Structure 1
Amino acid sequence: MDPELTTLARSASLTLVTLMATNAWERARDGVVALWRRAVPERADAVAAELENTREDLATDPAAEGELAAEWQGRIRRLLAGHPEAAVPLRDLLHELAPATAPAAPAVTQHATGSGESRIYQAGRDLRITERSTER
């Protein structure tokens, strides 16, 4: 299988499982079912049921998120292998869902080492220092 399609399947499965616990879930579910309905219509209702079962499994055991994503990665990969034309609408769906999966803010990590009488000032954004030296 094309490595690009494998990467797309991985990304789609992670997005799908991540959205199962959000307000964007219904849109994600409907989009995935629509993909199957176009490519393999006889499986669409079963896929809808499998998505609901996966969501219930995730609610019961949040630690299973990676395992559930791997299961969906396999399903999506097989869909794309048999129907590569589904890659375009899948990419469109992921692009549409992207704001729902974007992190609120990037993580910031700061490290500092001081010695003697040094002073260290760190900030994640603006920093204003108003101390005045008492030495003359």
Structure 2
Amino acid sequence: MLALATALVSAMVTDGWQHARSAAVDVWRRSRPEGEAEAVGLQLTDTRTRVLAARECQDAEAERTVVTDWAALLQRVASRNPDLVNELGGLLLPESGAAGAGSEAPTVMKARATGRARVYQAGRDINLGEQ
């Protein structure tokens, strides 16, 4: 759950946040029709505000606390509704295919080209159409 919570909190500070938030609320709405989705939407918005403030103040501990809080919440939700967490994991952790995955080390690629050299890097498939 920590990987999923980390991905969720990381998405909060990206340009794609509104899309990620909408997708998360939609998943909640489909899986938990009791009206929880709106509350989760508000909680996500509040959490984003906290994360942005923590980043502005360079308060890594506050951000870690937010991740830990979401991991605990997602763990509780998973015990009641594993499909919800798996679907959310599929959205936020598409490479893992599961919410519990993500224990692998991140891929770090570094390259340096000098002169007329070219560097091509890809995290997955790459197709070059050069002549």
Structure 1 length as normaliser, TM-score?
0.61
What is the rounded CA distance, in whole Å, between the counterparts of 2:12 and 2:25 in structure 1? Answer: 14
Task: Report Cα offsets for 1:107-126 as digits up to 9, x if no partner.
Answer: 66xxxxxxxxxxxxxxx546
1:77-108 CA deviation, whole Å, 9 max, x = no partner? Answer: 1111100122431232024599xxxxxx8266
Q: Percent identity?
A: 27
Is 1:71–2:64 an aligned residue pair? no
Q: Which residue of 2 aligns with 1:50?
A: 43
CA contact (8 A) 1:28 1:97 kept: no
Q: Provide the residue aligned with 2:12 in structure 1.
A: 20
Query: Cα distance 1:107–1:81, how it changes in 2: closer, same or farther (>3 A)?
Result: same
Task: Name 1:133's counterpart in structure 2.
Answer: none
Deviation at 1:24, TM superposition (A): 1.4
For the aligned residue pairs, the C-alpha RMSD in angstroms reads 2.6
Which one has the bigger helix percentage?
1
| Structure 2 Cα separation of the partners of residues 57 and 80 of structure 1 | 24
Q: For 2:87 and 2:3, locate their aligned partners in 1 and report how far apart those are by CA, in whole Å.
A: 14
Q: Deviations over 1:16-54 (max 9, x none)?
A: 111111111112211221222122222111110011111
Query: Is the 8 Å Cα contact of residues 33 and 47 (structure 1) preserved in structure 2?
Result: yes
| Alpha-carbon displacement from aligned partner over 1:48-86 (angstroms, at most 9, x marks no partner) | 001111111112222221111111111111111100122
Q: d(CA) in 2 for partners of 1:88 and 1:35?
A: 10
Q: 1:86 to 1:48 in 2, by over 3 A?
A: same
Kindly indicate whether the alpha-carbon contact (under 8 Å) linking 1:24 and 1:97 is maintained by their aligned counterparts in 2.
no
The alpha-carbon distance between structure 1 residues 107 and 97, as it changes in their structure 2 partners (threshold 3 A), is closer
SS at match of 1:106: coil
Task: List structure 1 segments (4+ residues) > 6 angstroms apart after TM superposition.
Answer: none
Unaligned runs of at least 5 residues, structure 1: 1-8, 99-104, 109-123, 129-136
Amino acid at match of 2:6: L
Bigger Rg, which one = 1
